[in-house]
């Protein structure tokens, strides 16, 4: 994860070193060598944040600046770094703690998350409501109009699956995740995270950040409360992209490992331009993409 650009871009290496110094373990080893830690969310979160911020810094060093930013779940922290509201040093330590709090609130195997495909949101919400007599279950991620993830306690999620099947849902995919994040099961993590967030000094945002929780522009005074809520509230990614489009933003760059968000954006609105930065090839393609858009 990030190895190619780590070897070629000095600023990527410097970002990894900064994270390692702050966290007390080698980010290079975590991302580039076989290990079991990367599957634990307390390590996954700072690793992804480090890689994403490193790639962001590469683009910024080449003269590119975003007009607005958004992320999905953990990505909201990189978005806040991009906006200038949160320093990378504070962010990487913060998400390491966030991961710890989340794994303790919902240990591996304590719940279940399932992607529900091609089903109306109102139907999914009603099935979750009916299944809630067996425990916590609710929508956790509104990824695209065609994909909504539900999560919660196993018995309640499985009842919701049965109700959705009876309502006509054809495809549901169980997800291999550490825990049922963005549900009420994360309330203890939310409370502990709030205590840490209250100690962070957030600077004035230079560009708008779209909140996962509201799918609206994050108000400076609401950063702490929104990040506190976010860990146990559904992520409204699909609506966030619509909000950005309403601002007149038509081109999106996914920064970080993988191309999941690019895929989501294409399903939300095929007319939007997309690019991504993950390695040398995608960086070159993104620079070409952004240069061509500047000339239009």
CA distance 131 to 112: 14
- Dihedral angle sign, alpha carbons of residues 263, 269, 270, 272: negative
Q: Which of 182, 211, 233, 240 is catalytic?
A: 182
CB neighbours (10 Å) of residue 273?
14
**Of 249, 259, 250, 252, nearest in space to 281 by CA:** 259
CB 101 within 8 A of CB 189: yes
In the set 26, 73, 110, 132, the catalytic residue is 73
Buried b (16+ CB within 10 A) or exposed e, 56-72: bbbbeeeebebebbbbb
Tokens for 117, please give them: 């495909």
96 is annotated as an active-site residue: no
The DSSP code sequence of 156-195 is HHHHHHHHHHHTT--EEEE---SS--SSGGGHHHHHHHHH
Residue reference for tokens 């299944």? 131
Distance CA(41)–CA(178), nearest Å, equals: 7
Catalytic residue IDs: 73, 182
């Amino acid at each position: 994860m990030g190895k190619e650009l780590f070897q070629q871009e000095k600023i990527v290496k410097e970002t990894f070193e900064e994270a390692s110094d702050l966290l007390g373990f080698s980010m290079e080893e975590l991302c580039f060598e076989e290990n079991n830690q990367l599957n634990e969310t307390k390590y996954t979160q700072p690793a992804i944040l480090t890689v994403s911020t490193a790639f962001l810094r590469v683009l910024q060093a080449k003269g590119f600046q975003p007009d607005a930013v958004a992320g999905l779940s953990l990505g909201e922290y990189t978005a806040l770094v991009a906006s200038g509201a949160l320093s990378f040093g504070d962010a990487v330590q913060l998400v390491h703690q966030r991961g710890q709090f989340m794994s303790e609130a919902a240990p591996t195997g304590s719940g279940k998350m399932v992607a529900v495909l091609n089903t109306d949101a109102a139907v999914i919400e009603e099935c979750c409501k009916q299944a809630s007599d067996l425990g916590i279950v609710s929508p956790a991620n509104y990824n695209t109009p065609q994909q909504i993830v539900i999560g919660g306690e196993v018995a309640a999620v499985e009842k919701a699956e049965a109700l959705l099947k009876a309502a006509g849902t054809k495809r549901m995919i169980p997800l291999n995740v550490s825990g049922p994040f963005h549900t009420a099961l994360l309330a203890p993590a939310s409370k502990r995270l709030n205590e840490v967030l209250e100690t962070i000094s957030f600077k004035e945002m230079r560009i708008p950040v779209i909140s996962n929780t509201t799918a609206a522009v994050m108000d400076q005074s609401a950063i702490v409360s929104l990040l506190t809520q976010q860990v146990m509230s559904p992520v409204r990614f699909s609506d966030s992209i619509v909000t950005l489009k309403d601002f007149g933003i038509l081109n999106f760059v996914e920064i970080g490992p993988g191309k999941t968000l690019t895929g989501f954006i294409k399903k939300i609105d095929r007319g939007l331009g997309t690019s991504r930065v993950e390695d040398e090839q995608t960086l070159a393609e993104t620079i070409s993409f952004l240069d061509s858009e500047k000339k239009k």
